[in-house]
Structure 1
Amino acid sequence: MASPLASCARGQVQIVRFLSNSAALCKRAAPLGPLPNEQFEGQDVESLEKYRSFTRYYRVAEKEQKKLHWWKSFKQYQEAGKVKIPLDEVRAEWEKSSGPYGIQRVAEHYGVYKDLFGEATFVPRVTLRVHYRNDEEGLLPVYYGNVVAASEAFAPPEVTFEAEEGSLWTLLLTNPDGHLRETESEYVHWLVGNIPGSQVLSGEEICHYFPPFPAKGTGYHRHVFILFKQEGPIDFKDELRPNPCHSLKLRTFKTIDFYRKYEDNLTASGLAFFQCRWEDAVTQVYHQLLSEYRICFLH
Structure 2
Amino acid sequence: MAAPLIRGVTLRVRAEFRVTWIYRGFGTSATCCRRVAPLGPMPNMDIDMKNLDDLEKYRSYTRYLKVAGEESRKVHWWKTYRQYLNQDEVSIPLDEVKAEWERTSGPYDIQKVAEHYGVYQDLFHGATFVPRIVLRVQYSLDEEHSLPVHRGNVVTPFEATSQPEVTFEAEESSLWTLLLTNPDGHLRDNDAEYVHWIVGNIPGNAVQSGEQICHYLPPFPAKGTGYHRFIFILFKQERPIDFTEDCLPSPCHSLESRTFQTFDFYRKHQDHMTPAGLAFFQSQWDNSVTHTFHQLLNMKEPVFEYDRPPVYHPPQKKYPHGEPVRYLDRYRDSQETTYGIY
Match status 1:197 vs 2:208: no
> Aligned to 1:247, which of 241, 254, 257?
254
2:139 to 129, 132, 138: 132
Residue number among 245, 259, 265 corresponding to 2:266 in the alignment: 259
Correspondence for 2:241 = 234
Taking the TM superposition and a 5 Å limit, the aligned residue runs for 1:1-299 are 29-32=76-79, 80=88, 82-135=89-142, 138-299=145-306
**Which residue does 1:46 correspond to in 2?**
none
Equivalent AA in structure 1 for residue 112 of structure 2: R
Return 5+ residue gaps in structure 1 as ranges.
1-27, 34-70
**How has the CA–CA distance of structure 1 residues 298 and 86 changed in structure 2, closer, same or farther, with 3 Å as cutoff?**
same
- 1:2-47, CA deviations, whole angstroms, 9 ceiling, x for partnerless residues? xxxxxxxxxxxxxxxxxxxxxxxxxx934429xxxxxxxxxxxxxx
1:170 is paired with a residue whose SS is strand
Instruction: Give the partner amino acid of 2:79.
Output: L
Letter in 1 for 2:255: L
- What SS does structure 1 have at the residue aligned with 2:158? helix
Say which SS state the counterpart of residue 107 (structure 1) adopts: helix
Q: Cα offset for 1:135? A: 2.1
Mapped partners of 1:217, 1:242: distance in 2: 30
Shift of 1:136: 7.9
Root mean square deviation, CA, Å: 1.7
Count of matched residue positions in the alignment of Structure 1 and Structure 2 = 230
Correspondence for 1:12? none
Task: Write the distance in 1 (CA, Å) between the matches of 2:100 and 2:274.
Answer: 24
Please, which runs of 5 or more residues in structure 2 have no aligned partner? 1-74, 307-342
Q: Relative to structure 1, is the Cα distance of residues 30 and 159 closer, same or farther in structure 2, using a 3 angstrom cutoff?
A: closer
Return the letter of the residue paired with 1:295: P
Distance 1:222 1:31, change over 3 A: closer
Structure 2 counterpart SS, 1:211: coil
Amino acid at match of 1:29: H
Give the AA of the match of 1:253: F
SS at match of 1:267: strand
For residue 140 of structure 1, report the CA deviation from its aligned partner.
Answer: 0.4
Mapped to 1, the partners of 2:256 and 2:191 lie a distance apart of 14
Distance 1:197 1:249 in 2: 32
Runs of 4+, deviation exceeding 6 Å: none
- Counterpart CA distance in 1 for 2:121 and 2:144 is 34
Assess, with a 3 A threshold, how the Cα gap between structure 1 residues 137 and 112 changes in structure 2: closer, same or farther. Answer: farther
Question: Which has the bigger relative contact order, CA under 8 A and spacing at least 6?
Answer: 1
- Cα distance between partner residues in 2 of 1:226 and 1:91: 21
Residue 198 of structure 2 aligns to a residue whose secondary structure is strand
Q: Assess, with a 3 A threshold, how the Cα gap between structure 1 residues 90 and 295 changes in structure 2: closer, same or farther.
A: same
Q: Which TM-score applies when normalising by structure 1?
A: 0.74
Q: Percent identity?
A: 64
Give me the whole-angstrom Cα distance separating, in 1, the residues matched to 2:144 and 2:208.
24
Counterparts of 2:155 and 2:192 in 1: how far apart (Å)?
22
Aligned to 1:14: none
**In structure 2, what is the Cα distance between the partners aligned to 1:297 and 1:233?**
43
